[in-house]
Amino acid sequence: MNDYAPWLEANDQYLAAALADLRARLQRAAQSHDAPATPPAAAATALMESAPAVSAPGGQKHSWFARMFSSQPARTPLSNAQMKVVDTPPAAPPLVVEVPDVGTTAAGAVTSPASSVTDGSSHTPALSVLANRLGLSAFERELLLLCIGMELDTRMPALCAQAQHDPAKPYPTFALAFAVLDAPSWDALSPERPLRYWRLLDIHQPGAQPLIGAALSADERVVNFVKGMNYLDDRLMPLLTALAPATLPPSQRAIADRIVDGLRRVPVGEALPAVQLLGSDSVSKQGIAQAIAEAFGAQAYRLSAALLPGSVAEQETLIRLWQRESQLLPLALYIDAADVERGDAAAQVRRFIARAGGLAFVDAHEPWTGTASNTLSVDVAKPTAVEQRSLWQRLLGDIAGKQPQHLAGHFDFNFGRIEQIAHTALCAVEQQPEALAQLLWHGALARTRPALDQLAQRIEPKAGWADLKLPDSEKNLLRQIVDQVSRRSTVYDDWGFRARMNRGLSISALFAGESGTGKTMAAEVITNELGLSLYRIDLSAVVSKYIGETEKNLRKLFDAAEDGGAILFFDEADALFGKRSEVKDSHDRYANIEVNYLLQRLESFRGLAILATNQKGALDSAFLRRLRFVVNFPFPGVAERKAIWASAFPARLPIAPLDLDRLARLALSGGSIQGIALNAAFLAARAGVQISMPLILDAARAEFRKLDKPVNEADFRWLESAGGNA
């Protein structure tokens, strides 16, 4: 490949010579006073009769990149066998790129540029490259140069007016081209021929003016290409974002290699399938897409599905621009449709992909129904826990300690996120290495919060083991939950259980018991012990009466929590995880689908999910089979109630001596006891006195009435007497 400067000099020389020839033609036409401005009717008829059959570029399988380096015209469809494959990934296309002096055949052999006008040197002019790539005939190429000359040579407008014997026409027209250029062809006017199909020319046709006499101008992108500046069309730049090269872990590299191998095996002449990348991690999918594009010498650009035009006409214009750019630059298209579920938006994406052609990727969560058969669907997961641990170790170095295993066991990050967290923490601990663990942990937690904060309510955990008044058997189950979450990396990865199990790696627990028996407090205790975040799921924001919306909301919730660092707490879980019903109508069927989706999603969830219910019998039995733990929260006995009363009041609260044994005989749950203590504190604050037994009894009476429990006044009077004596 030649250096750019010598090629540019040769290209300028070619353009100077070609424009000089055009000026001479226009001058001869101007000097010929008898020459008509337009061909006579007989000549026009001959042009129409001799014109070849129109070959529509729009009906071909256009090449999708690297056609700049080939000498074959675009009217011959480029198959997958003609892809330019490189061993090392190229840099992203620069603003100005080199134009080679030779092309490549399908087999990769070096050839001379076919049917191209050169300057006699070994360099291929950009105009010839453009004509070959876009399938222009010799007449169309000269017509395009005539229009480009208006931008490059200030003498051209006057010459055009003189050649057309009309001072009001200082611009090229089709009629002028027919008069001064060799081998004119009437089909050049067709919207299916390259000049108009690829939008190489802008036609200014006011009112009822005939097309043949309309003013013509060259597209700015085309003018700059012919001058040697090859860059992405500025009409596409606001819509597209170049994907950055990424370091892929072995598991994702294997996926990219399989896709590349599959694309290379597509039979010659067939269109490449669109690659549908499935999963929730868009960052990993973008890295794989760029790696595949690099394997074929291309640069992938991301286009958000939300930016696709709504009207067919506007979308067609965008498609034509992208197709043209794919002929002039080595490009691949990555459509981000992660938020597109179904309906018109999905149909627009499918239509765009089908029409755009070339190497294309679609970012989707799940396979789309009704997708064309020419689609390759691949599941993309984040790096494995072992790969994440290795990266943590490599980035942190000798000061890592046990942090790589600890972080990889609790969080599920892609490589980019791990690099960001590690870099931030290392920069902050240059003077305090002992603070690394805390900075890494808090940095990882902070990365998981934004998405979940929009979907669930974060609970600040305050309770500890000492606050939890449960029998020893239930406490032991809670400690087992903590142990399994904290040591899952050792069991799953170091001991090989992950490789043996396709499902059931999630840790889920059911907390069953009456209201106020400590289910939420137990979730707080576990959260505090693990140092994670606790999120209560708001069922009113999740459950929807509209078909399919509940699954959509749940998918967003679980996807946001997949990064780890969060415990999902489904309070009143029976409202969401209820039994499947007999199908009597469409609503029953879709309700059962929601339950089935929950079963699958809960089982594949990487983190800890806690379901709390006071109606265990209302849960679907399939959930119970899939739960790792079931912890029953019994109604507190006398001993537990006494312990709850003893810890119900803060230490600095002014309080008179209390008869805890007598208070423990009141049949109340822990939640009710906490409520009575709080209400009694407000009564004491209003009266300006210490909390005493009479105030507590007043609050207790109110609680009994609230719960519709009978109030035994004899017991309360006895307690009042005892409290009064005290």
Which amino acid is present at 44?
Answer: A
Tell me the residue range of the domain where 411 lies.
Answer: 385-453
CATH number, position 307: 3.40.50.300
Tokens read off for 602: 């809960």
Burial class (CB in 10 A: 0-12, 13-18, 19+), 257: middle
Beta strand 299-304 pairing with 240-242: antiparallel
Q: What are the tens digits of pLDDT across the range 540-591? A: 667 766 666 777 778 888 888 878 778 999 887 776 666 555 444 444 545 5
Q: What is the rounded (10 degree) CA torsion for 28, 34, 38, 44? A: -110
Q: pLDDT band for 111, please (50, 70, 90 cuts).
A: very low
Give, to the nearest 10 degrees, the angle between helix 220-227 and helix 126-134: 130
Nearest to 414 by CA among 394, 452, 437, 387: 387
Nearest to 65 by CA among 93, 37, 46: 93
Q: What is the rounded (10 degree) CA torsion for 569, 575, 577, 582? A: 180
DSSP 265: T
Sheet holding 360-364, edge to edge: 240-242, 299-304, 331-336, 360-364, 274-278, 375-379
Residues 427 and 367 placed together within one structural domain of the fold: no
Residues 618 and 519 placed together within one structural domain of the fold: yes
DSSP letters for 57-73: GGGS----S-GGG--S-
Alpha-carbon separation of residue 367 from 135, 173, 341, 372 (angstroms): 37, 50, 10, 11
* Within a domain: 475: yes
Residues 523 and 479 placed together within one structural domain of the fold: yes
* Within a domain: 41: yes
* Within a domain: 671: yes
Residues 184 and 52 placed together within one structural domain of the fold: yes
Question: CA 453 to CA 456: how far, in whole Å?
Answer: 6
Q: pLDDT band for 369, please (50, 70, 90 cuts).
A: low
Residues 441 and 308 placed together within one structural domain of the fold: no
Residues 284 and 322 placed together within one structural domain of the fold: yes
Domain boundary residue, one of 575, 607, 633: 633
Nearest to 511 by CA among 611, 626, 618: 611
Residues 553 and 405 placed together within one structural domain of the fold: no
* Within a domain: 246: yes
Q: pLDDT band for 263, please (50, 70, 90 cuts).
A: very high
Residues 601 and 651 placed together within one structural domain of the fold: no
Q: Between residues 595 and 603, which one has the greater pLDDT?
A: 603
| pLDDT at 162 exceeding the cut of 90 | yes
Domain boundary residue, one of 604, 633, 662: 633
Q: How many CB atoms within 10 Å of residue 247?
A: 12
Residues 135 and 122 placed together within one structural domain of the fold: yes
Contact indicator for 110, 70 with CB cutoff of 8 Å = no
* Within a domain: 183: yes
Q: Between residues 266 and 345, which one has the greater pLDDT?
A: 266
pTM score of the predicted model = 0.76
* Within a domain: 234: no
Tokens read off for 572: 């009143």
| pLDDT at 344 exceeding the cut of 80 | no
Question: CA 227 to CA 8: how far, in whole Å?
Answer: 8
Nearest to 226 by CA among 77, 16, 1, 2: 16
* Contacts of 593-602 spanning 24+ positions with Cβ under 8 A: 593/551, 594/550, 594/551, 594/554, 595/620, 595/622, 597/551, 597/554, 598/554, 598/623, 599/623, 599/626, 601/554, 601/555, 601/558, 602/506, 602/508, 602/626
Question: CA 210 to CA 213: how far, in whole Å?
Answer: 6
* Chain position carrying tokens 């046990």: 402
Q: What are the tens digits of pLDDT across the range 450-483? A: 778 877 888 999 899 988 988 889 999 999 999 9
Domain boundary residue, one of 393, 428, 453: 453
The arithmetic mean of pLDDT across residues 336-361, rounded, is 83
The arithmetic mean of pLDDT across residues 66-78, rounded, is 34
Residues 15 and 121 placed together within one structural domain of the fold: yes
Which residues is 332 bridged to in the sheet? 300
Q: pLDDT band for 199, please (50, 70, 90 cuts).
A: very high
Contact indicator for 37, 179 with CB cutoff of 8 Å = yes
* Within a domain: 150: yes
CATH number, position 657: 1.10.8.60
* Within a domain: 163: yes
Residues 556 and 680 placed together within one structural domain of the fold: no
| Helices assigned H by DSSP within 80-137 | 126-134
Q: pLDDT band for 108, please (50, 70, 90 cuts).
A: very low
Which pLDDT score is estimated for 37?
45
DSSP 304: E
Residues 401 and 528 placed together within one structural domain of the fold: no
Q: How far is CA 377 from the centre of its chain?
A: 16
Q: What are the tens digits of pLDDT across the range 635-685? A: 998 988 899 998 888 888 888 888 888 888 888 898 899 999 999 999 999
Domains in the chain, number: 5
Q: pLDDT band for 400, please (50, 70, 90 cuts).
A: confident
